[in-house]
Chains A and B, each alone.
Chain A
Amino acid sequence: MPLFDGLRLALREISAHKLRSFFTLLGIIVSVAFLVAVVAVIQGMNAYVRENLAGAIVGKNAFQIRRTPISVGFIDDEEYRELQRRPIIRAEEVEFVRRAIPDAQAIALQSGWPTPLADVTWRNRTVGDVAVFGVTAPYQMVQDYEMAAGEALIDLDIDDRRRVAVLGFDVADKLFDEIDLAIGRKIRVRGQEVVVKGVTAKKGTVLGQSWDGFVMLPITLFETTYGRRHTTVISVKMPEAYQVASAMERAEEAMRVARRLRPGQPNTFTIDTAEGLISFWKSLTRIIFTVVPAVVAIGVIVGGIVIMNIMLMSVTERTREIGIRKSVGASRADIQRQFLMESICLATMGGLLGILAGWGLAEVVAILSPLPSRVTLWSVALALGLGIGVGVLFGVYPARRAARLDPIVALRFE
């Protein structure tokens, strides 16, 4: 039988039992939808981490000189002890770095993540659990902060340890009726009085977390309250992306000099870009990516068995039809192809419906939650391949059963 006739026959048979076909495919549809949706959400988050989160933490065209790497990931005890022995980044080391990278756009020292949380009070209003940073003035350039009101911190604020602060937009918004009213007000950060000098423009949210709920203090003031933090980092921002790599090399050299490391001695610091953060994230998603296929595989196998059962039922139901077809000259191969084609069409439809459902699901997730989603071509191709594969694998047995029917017996079948 020509391929086209077989295809038409299979589609007609499937559409003759629409509801039954749909329920037959439910297992495949759900598994494939799950695959597509989960992959879409993870890929979306990957892209998001790369484009937003990493940039937001490290800064654009920027890298950090840190005590420990961003990607703590999964390390053994030996490494962990080595990291714990490393000295804290010191303010004096900024000078070494600055001399090594004169072409930097900004070089800053900051208290880093994780950072202490404190209540911020103005008169009778309090905003709880605000992230408190200690920074040097260039940090505001590294992070590309725009001021919504007032002024940014300047070097003198840091050098003179002035009792001033720059508020994140959300903090100012909650404490004051208008942003402009914040400037010059005395607020209390963990009981300490500081004067609001400026308010940064809104940066928005990342993964549903506001990026504007912070108080920036001169790092000198910060350290009188919180001490020197283990998390202190130096940020270096370059004017263009291509300059980052060479700047990182020079920063490494400068740091080794600053710490008097002999050749052969390992670094007692880490130089990281947002890539470090991305690779940490990727090591997390890799775990998810090993679990998802297992779940999908189970779903697809169950879905395939359902298809096989329905096809076996269909073969029994259509025994007489098979007899008729054989009596007019259908060969075993003809009958086998007919039923195989049907199960392949069925499973492929399941794959397609699953892709649509998964796509829809991913879109709904993207709309209803802060999780972004991105449907990728490879997951769609994989889903479709799975559908066809299941159709072949679980269609062969029923098709062979049909092909082997004795025409005399089949014709007499009631």
Chain B
Amino acid sequence: MAEQPLISLRGLTREYRMDAETVYALRGIELAIGTNEYVAIMGPSGSGKSTLMNVIGCLDTPTRGEYWLNGTEVSRMSDDELARVRNREIGFVFQTFNLLPRATALHNVELPLIYAGTSARERRRAASRALERVGLADRMHHRPNELSGGQRQRVAIARALVNDPSILLADEPTGNLDSVTSQEIMAVFGELHTQGQTVLMVTHEADIAAHAHRVVTLLDGVVHSDSVREAA
């Protein structure tokens, strides 16, 4: 494992103020994730796994503690700096796919590159390549409503991959899919991992988490267990 982990969380705390009450979503997370790890984050609802996902994905910032990504501290960054980190370092896959409904698969995949300022030709080439990687080369010009759930999630994965992110973040990626399709999607993640992609996945399903090589369990905003599976 590399000397410096890809992700390093130190005493990460996130609290929400609701009226007079303070709700602690995360209370001092200590976690390090290295390059090319395949980590599943589990835990019951309310354990803070979604908040942790948002913080790691730079959609949210911690109240206290440090978050180092790729050697830079992102926990104190401004909104626009975070946007740039999301654009360059992070690829999101959501439970509800979150594709633009009126745009074609190709355009959806191009989206991160538009904000990266990539030229139109380069965008098209990169997006096509990403769609090919997830096996959707023949569906590039379809809109989301012309695609099955599994195909939509593949488009979302292609979009997450297109900017060559340091880390692929998946939030319940199979939550809206049937079991057969879920296995297909998990096979895609597995394939990406073997190609060297770091994958971090939030799930509450044990059989989905079983695809990962390391399972981190949260409980009440702290790391409850952290087990590395000896496999492969």
Tell me the minimal C-beta distance from B167 to chain A in angstroms.
14
**B98 in contact (CB, < 8 A):** yes
Which among A16, A320, A323, A332 is the interface contact of B79 at CB below 8 angstroms? A332
Q: Are B83's CB and A1's CB within 8 A?
A: no
**A330 in contact (CB, < 8 A):** yes
Q: Are A331's CB and B79's CB within 8 A?
A: yes
Tell me the minimal C-beta distance from A77 to chain B in angstroms.
69
Q: Name the prevailing secondary structure of the A interface residues.
A: helix
Q: Are A407's CB and B115's CB within 8 A?
A: no
Q: Are A330's CB and B83's CB within 8 A?
A: yes
Residues 117-142 of chain B, each 1 if its beta carbon lies under 8 Å from chain A, else 0: 10010000000000000000000000
Q: Are A408's CB and B115's CB within 8 A?
A: no
**B76 in contact (CB, < 8 A):** no
**B116 in contact (CB, < 8 A):** yes
Tell me, in angstroms, the Cα distance from A320 to B99 when the chains sit together. Answer: 10
Which among B54, B87, B120 is the interface contact of A329 at CB below 8 angstroms? B87
In the complex, which residues of chain B have a beta carbon less than 8 angstroms from the beta carbon of A408? 54, 59-60
Q: Name the prevailing secondary structure of the B interface residues.
A: helix
**A173 in contact (CB, < 8 A):** no
Q: Are A331's CB and B102's CB within 8 A?
A: no
Tell me, in angstroms, the Cα distance from A2 to B114 when the chains sit together. Answer: 8
Residues 38-74 of chain B, each 1 if its beta carbon lies under 8 Å from chain A, else 0: 0000000000000000100101100000000000000
**A252 in contact (CB, < 8 A):** no
Which among B54, B80, B92, B117 is the interface contact of A328 at CB below 8 angstroms? B92
In the complex, which residues of chain A have a beta carbon less than 8 angstroms from the beta carbon of B54? 408
Tell me the minimal C-beta distance from B17 to chain A in angstroms.
15
**A366 in contact (CB, < 8 A):** no
Q: Are B60's CB and A331's CB within 8 A?
A: no
**B88 in contact (CB, < 8 A):** yes
Of B87, B100, B112, B114, chain A has the most CB atoms within 10 Å of the CB of: B114
**A325 in contact (CB, < 8 A):** yes
Q: Are A327's CB and B115's CB within 8 A?
A: no
| Nearest opposing residue in chain B for A16, CB measure | B102
Which among A16, A320, A328 is the interface contact of B86 at CB below 8 angstroms? A328
Tell me the minimal C-beta distance from A281 to chain B in angstroms.
55
Q: Are A326's CB and B94's CB within 8 A?
A: no
**B111 in contact (CB, < 8 A):** yes
In the complex, which residues of chain A have a beta carbon less than 8 angstroms from the beta carbon of B163? 329
**A160 in contact (CB, < 8 A):** no
Supplied contacts A12-B102, A324-B99, A332-B83, 7 more A-B pairs, CB within 8 Å: A326-B83, A327-B59, A327-B92, A330-B115, A332-B79, A408-B54, A408-B60
**A interface residues with partner B (beta carbon < 8 Å):** 1-2, 5, 12, 16, 320-321, 323-334, 407-408, 411
